[in-house]
Amino acid sequence: MLHFSPYCKFGFLMKSGVLGTIFAAALISLSASASASEWIRCDSCSPGQAGSMVLGGLAPYERAVVNPAQRWALKFEVRSEGSGSGCDPERRPGGKAATNAAKGLGGIGGGGGNCTNQNVAYEVALTSEEAGFADALADYYAETGGTMKTGIEIDYSALNLPHCPPSDCVWINRTAYDVMRSFVVQRDVNQAVRDMLNSVSAFGRILDYAAGALNIVLLGGNMDIAVTVTFADGSTVTTFFSESVPAGEITQSRDGAGLPIMNSGNMSGFNGSWTYPYGSGDTFFLDHAARLGVPVVNNCYNPTRQVTCSWNGSSQGGGELNCRLGC
């Protein structure tokens, strides 16, 4: 699971006293779990600065710095070690010792005599999953020009969905009406959009890591993508994906005439006449309305593709909507 926070602090060294204690507590509170690995996003720092950027905290812990703009990421194991004549001999963590260990004054604990504890950062290797995550961040940074946000449009035919039965859809190819009315249709469309996201954006790979076992707190994240699907009748559905909503969430839907999709809570707003530019848009509207319980008159021999609805009641509810096909 990936976790994201907008916080990013550059070049902080832990100092003794109240300030250090407060900042260390703030870092801990950002973590989703004690086992989460914190990553600091920094678009302008250099690899040489990374070691000093990870020192603020209560060691031991792992922390990484990622620069998607320059396409690099470094991870460090941070230990609290004593320095001074009154300390036990300094012990290094297992594995390859860093030749350029970055140090910051700790003031947390401390040995007897002339001994000061300090956080020491040792560079360690990224796992293959972590390296893949860093690559995905860099690719999405390049794709979005550094904003880490984008919107894309796709045609429904790219989703390769099977025909929809009449019990669920007003048309076999689906429309925004069906997506908003039927949980089954909405689930299938959302999943199809999610499945094809990898082929149209690097954000799909970021979501893959979010759905996997990688447990990261990204300081300075705030990334998302909005995918708008246009159906053959001209209706549209926009699904929003983010690190906290990896399965997607519909944020907007419109029919072929540009109207919001009717539901049981907004019927009072459908009071007027609309013309649908696509072949069966008018009948799709009326079929959808009828499935919601709206009385519909649809018996024209020479329809004009215009639909007229009237609301009898207050704008706050308590009325009835009636719709008919223009003749």
Q: Which residue do the tokens 């926009």 mark?
A: 238
Q: Which of 159, 323, 144, 324 is nearest to 237 (CA)?
A: 159
- In this prediction the pTM is 0.75
Task: Please say if the pLDDT value at position 248 is more than 50.
Answer: yes
Residue 213: the pLDDT is 66
The answer to whether the CB of 230 falls within 8 A of the CB of 239 is: no
Please report, rounded to a whole number, the percentage of residues in the chain having pLDDT higher than 90. 54
What letters, b where the CB count within 10 A reaches 16 and e where it falls short, cover 6-15?
Answer: eebeeebbbe
Rounded distance, CA 43 to CA 66, Å?
8
Rounded distance, CA 183 to CA 193, Å?
15
Rounded distance, CA 176 to CA 231, Å?
7
The answer to whether the CB of 238 falls within 8 A of the CB of 226 is: yes
- For 217: left if phi > 0, alpha if psi spans -120 to 50, otherwise beta; the answer is beta
Please report, rounded to a whole number, the percentage of residues in the chain having pLDDT higher than 70. 79
Each residue's pLDDT tens digit, 132-152: 999 999 999 999 999 999 999
Max CA-CA distance within the chain? 100
Instruction: Say which range, 24-33, 38-47, 125-134, 176-185, has the weakest mean pLDDT.
Output: 24-33
- The per-residue pLDDT of the chain, averaged, comes to 81
Rounded distance, CA 125 to CA 123, Å?
7
The answer to whether the CB of 251 falls within 8 A of the CB of 239 is: yes
Instruction: Say which range, 41-50, 51-60, 212-221, 235-244, has the weakest mean pLDDT.
Output: 212-221
Query: For the residues 18-28, what does the mean pLDDT come to?
Result: 31
Each residue's pLDDT tens digit, 71-127: 999 999 999 988 777 776 544 444 343 434 555 544 434 444 678 888 999 999 999
Exposed/middle/buried for residue 93 (C-beta within 10 Å: 0-12, 13-18, 19+): middle
At residue 257 the predicted structure's pLDDT band, cuts being 50, 70 and 90, is confident
Instruction: Say which range, 16-20, 181-185, 292-296, has the weakest mean pLDDT.
Output: 16-20
User: Is the Cα dihedral 137, 34, 107, 117 positive or negative?
Assistant: negative
Rounded distance, CA 95 to CA 76, Å?
12
Residue 327: the pLDDT is 74
Residue 109: the pLDDT is 41
Query: For the residues 235-246, what does the mean pLDDT come to?
Result: 90
SS3 178: helix
278 or 272, higher pLDDT: 272
**Helical residues (DSSP H) of the chain, grouped into ranges:** 18-30, 47-53, 128-144, 176-181, 183-200, 203-211, 281-291
